[in-house]
């Protein structure tokens, strides 16, 4: 019995080793640490330090290297030049979406974010067109952003200078802007359905970005059987989907196909137009999951960026004072800031750009995939290879930014103090998959930051250190530390 068991074990080891050996050695993939059977290169990633570990491997192996998530090879692309070559110069081929197992179990390939091929192309073109129609980048959405910004100013004013954590207020406000575009109305911040909706959307994002979520993405076949919070993803995603479904049903009852009121109406009209096409992608499932994608992608990201921005203004009061001066000169105190004001507010634009670069909120980007065989930087990447174009290596690329770990908005100003762009700031990624919410997020960040600073001096009892503000580069999301601040009314 013992001899048989030992024999079987040896045989299994030989099979695993030889399949791994042929699998791994026969490819002309970029170099990288040697993988082990079953766990791949997991041991090269320090616990809770995924991004830091990947950045270290960048300095060891250069601009492209290969990791193994179990037996899946993943090609990591680092630094501005290589990321630009992949996402922009070879944009079509690198436009595939790589797997994100923690979300995929729920989305099953539906929706805009995790789909590929014709489905993605159709949903993407439609979504971008409809979001534009409902105001992305236009005056109509600007007034909705201004309304929310004024509501939040009132909330902060009511705090009477007492320290508070602005996370929830910001999340309420940014979510309401999205609700206006997608559902056609805003919610009162105290509305219990809205509170519940935000809780689930936030939990979805938090789970996706947690260590559990990351481990699930690296070793899905093993993590499926390991107990842990990652198993909550399906029930909470279904709850969020249920909430959206209720809104869809309500829209159906009052739909006027000649006059769409919001994103959901437009999608329903397209579904009706294509009802005789058995292969249409405009079906209920794609509507629910695409809407789910927009909320999950669009709430926490903008909130985190602005929270990071507020933290930087507390750390550097002199930067805050300069923005105050620019607001006083360009906007004054008698009207609300608008997006057009940015053209004259070079310093404020430079600060926002530096907040994006420094905070680097999605350091890993989302996973990509090559849609056909390609030679890249001298290596052969077969169709379907997973690609991680790391935004953190672009934002900290020493060839693009001197002292990349320093927060310095003046790097985006020319000699005459005018705002100057740098293509190596790509918080929204680049190429065919670039974030479709970029225009909205940029408008929101500018209008919220200037409206808050038009009304308040920001102060904190705590003195923040360099360590407090430095991004932790632990995982999928770079969130700032927990902090509180006081909003002291100012007179212009």
The reply to whether 429 sits near ligand HEM by the rule CB under 6 A is: yes
In 3D space, the residue among 278, 381, 280, 289 whose CA is nearest the CA of residue 104 turns out to be: 289
- Site membership for ligand HEM, residue 112 (CB under 6 A): yes
Q: Where are the alpha helices (DSSP H) in 67-166?
A: 80-84, 101-107, 117-133, 139-157
Contact between 113 and ligand HEM by CB under 6 A: the answer reads yes
Query: Contacting ligand HEM (CB under 6 A), which of 40, 437, 471, 480?
Result: 437
In DSSP notation, 26-72 reads TS-PPP-PPPBTTTBTGGGS-TT-HHHHHHHHHHHH-SEEEEEETTE
Residue from the set 171, 180, 302, 477 that interacts with ligand HEM by CB under 6 A: 302
Interface with ligand HEM: number of residues (CB under 6 A): 24
CB of 81 to ligand HEM, least distance (A): 17
The yes or no reply on residue 436 touching ligand HEM (CB under 6 A) is yes
Taking the complex as a whole, the smallest distance from the CB of residue 159 to ligand HEM amounts, in Å, to 25
What are the residues facing 445 on neighbouring strands? none
Least distance (Å) between residue 428 CB and ligand HEM: 5
Among 124, 186, 247, 315, binds ligand HEM (CB under 6 A): 124
Interface residue with ligand HEM, options 41, 169, 301, 454 (CB under 6 A)? 301
Closer CB to ligand HEM, 69 or 263, in the complex: 263
Site string for ligand HEM, 69-108 (x = CB under 6 A): ----------------------------x-----------
Which DSSP category does 464 fall into? P
Nearer to ligand HEM, 107 or 429 (CB): 429
Which one of the spans 29-37, 426-434, 463-471, 476-484 is the region binding ligand HEM (CB under 6 A)? 426-434
Q: Does 361 bind ligand HEM (CB under 6 A)?
A: yes
C-alpha atoms less than 13 angstroms from C-alpha of 432 in its C-beta half-sphere: 23
214 binding ligand HEM? (CB under 6 A): no
Given the complex with ligand HEM, which of 87 and 474 has the nearer CB atom?
87
83 three-state secondary structure: helix
Quote the CA–CA distance of 29 and 378 in Å, as a whole number: 9
Residue of closest CB approach to ligand HEM: 437
- Given 204, 305, 385, 393, the residue binding ligand HEM (CB under 6 A): 305
Minimum CB distance to ligand HEM, residue 437 (Å): 2
Return the residue of 156, 433, 454, 477 that touches ligand HEM, per CB under 6 A.
433
CB of 186 vs ligand HEM, minimal distance in Å: 15
> Pick from 75, 248, 294, 352: which binds ligand HEM (CB under 6 A)?
294
Assess 440 for contact with ligand HEM (CB under 6 A).
yes
Q: CB of residue 293 vs ligand HEM: minimum separation in angstroms?
A: 5
Angle between helices 233-254 and 284-315 (to 10 degrees): 110
Interacting residues of 249 by C-beta distance below 8 A, sequence separation 6+? none
365 scored as a contact of ligand HEM (CB under 6 A): yes
Q: What is the C-alpha separation between 427 and 364, in angstroms, rounded? A: 10
Residue 293 within binding range of ligand HEM, rule CB under 6 A: yes
Residues 28-60 as b/e (b if ≥16 CB within 10 A, e otherwise) read ebbebbebebeebbbebbeeebbbbbbbebbee
Taking CA atoms, 315 is separated from 101, 199, 303, 435, 483, in Å, by: 38, 29, 19, 29, 11
First and final CA of the chain: distance in angstroms? 88
Sequence-ordered strand ranges (E) for 332-399? 368-369, 374-376, 379-381, 386-389
Q: Closest CB to ligand HEM among 295 and 407?
A: 295
Q: Which of 70, 213, 427, 471 touches ligand HEM by CB under 6 A?
A: 427
Binder among 65, 267, 419, 428 for ligand HEM (CB under 6 A): 428
Both tokens assigned to 6: 């030992």
Q: Does 449 bind ligand HEM (CB under 6 A)?
A: no
Q: Among candidates 220, 238, 241, which has minimal Cα distance to 230?
A: 220
Nearer to ligand HEM, 210 or 359 (CB): 359
Q: Which of 152, 153, 289, 435 binds ligand HEM (CB under 6 A)?
A: 435
Burial of 231 from C-beta contacts in 10 A (0-12 / 13-18 / 19+): middle
**Which residues between 254 and 273 bind ligand HEM (CB under 6 A)?**
none
CA 288 to chain centre: 20
Token representation of residue 18: 């030889």
Q: Which residues bind ligand HEM (CB under 6 A)?
A: 97, 112-113, 124, 293-294, 297-298, 301-302, 305, 361-362, 365-366, 427-429, 433, 435-437, 440-441
């Amino acid at each position: 019995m013992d001899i048989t068991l030992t024999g079987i074990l040896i045989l299994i080891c030989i099979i695993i080793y030889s399949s791994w050996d042929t699998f791994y050695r026969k490819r002309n993939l970029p170099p990288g640490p040697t993988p082990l059977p079953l766990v791949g290169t997991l041991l090269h990633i320090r616990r809770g330090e995924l991004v830091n570990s990947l950045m270290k491997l960048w300095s060891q192996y250069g601009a492209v290297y290969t990791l193994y998530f179990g037996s899946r090879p993943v090609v990591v692309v680092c630094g501005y030049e290589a990321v630009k070559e992949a996402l922009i110069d070879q944009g079509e081929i690198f436009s595939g979406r790589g797997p994100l197992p923690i979300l995929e179990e729920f989305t099953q390939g539906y929706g805009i974010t995790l789909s590929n091929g014709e489905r993605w192309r159709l949903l993407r073109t439609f979504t971008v067109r409809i979001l534009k129609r409902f105001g992305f980048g236009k005056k109509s959405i600007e007034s909705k952003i201004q309304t929310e910004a004024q509501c939040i100013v009132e909330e902060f004013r009511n705090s009477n200078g007492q320290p508070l954590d602005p996370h929830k207020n910001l999340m309420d406000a940014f979510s309401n802007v999205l609700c206006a575009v997608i559902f056609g109305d805003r919610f009162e911040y105290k509305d219990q359905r809205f509170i519940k909706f935000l809780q689930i959307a936030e939990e979805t994002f938090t789970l996706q970005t947690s260590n559990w979520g990351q481990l699930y993405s690296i070793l899905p076949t093993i993590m499926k059987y390991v107990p842990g919070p990652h198993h909550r993803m399906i029930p909470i995603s279904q709850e969020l989907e249920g909430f959206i479904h209720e809104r869809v049903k309500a829209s159906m009852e009052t739909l006027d196909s000649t006059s769409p009121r919001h994103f959901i109406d437009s999608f329903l009209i397209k579904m009706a137009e294509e009802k005789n096409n058995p292969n249409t992608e405009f079906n209920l499932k794609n509507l629910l999951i695409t809407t789910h994608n927009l909320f999950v992608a669009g709430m926490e990201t903008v909130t985190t960026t602005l929270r990071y921005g507020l933290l930087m203004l507390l750390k550097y009061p002199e930067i805050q004072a300069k923005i105050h001066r620019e607001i006083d000169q360009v906007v004054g105190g008698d009207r609300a800031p608008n997006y057009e004001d940015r053209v004259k507010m070079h310093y404020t634009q430079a600060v926002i750009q530096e907040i994006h670069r420094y905070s680097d909120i999605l350091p890993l980007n989302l996973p990509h995939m090559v849609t056909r065989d390609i030679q890249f930087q001298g290596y052969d990447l077969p169709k379907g290879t997973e690609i991680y174009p790391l935004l953190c290596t672009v934002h900290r690329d020493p060839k693009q930014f001197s002292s990349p770990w320093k927060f310095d908005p003046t790097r985006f100003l020319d000699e005459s103090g005018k705002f100057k762009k740098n293509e190596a700031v790509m918080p929204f990624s680049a190429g065919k998959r670039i974030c479709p919410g970029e225009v909205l997020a940029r408008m929101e960040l500018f209008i919220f930051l200037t409206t808050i600073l038009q009304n308040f001096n920001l102060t904190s009892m705590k003195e923040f250190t360099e360590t407090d503000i430095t991004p932790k580069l632990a995982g999928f999301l770079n969130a700032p530390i927990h902090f509180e601040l006081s909003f002291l009314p100012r007179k212009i």
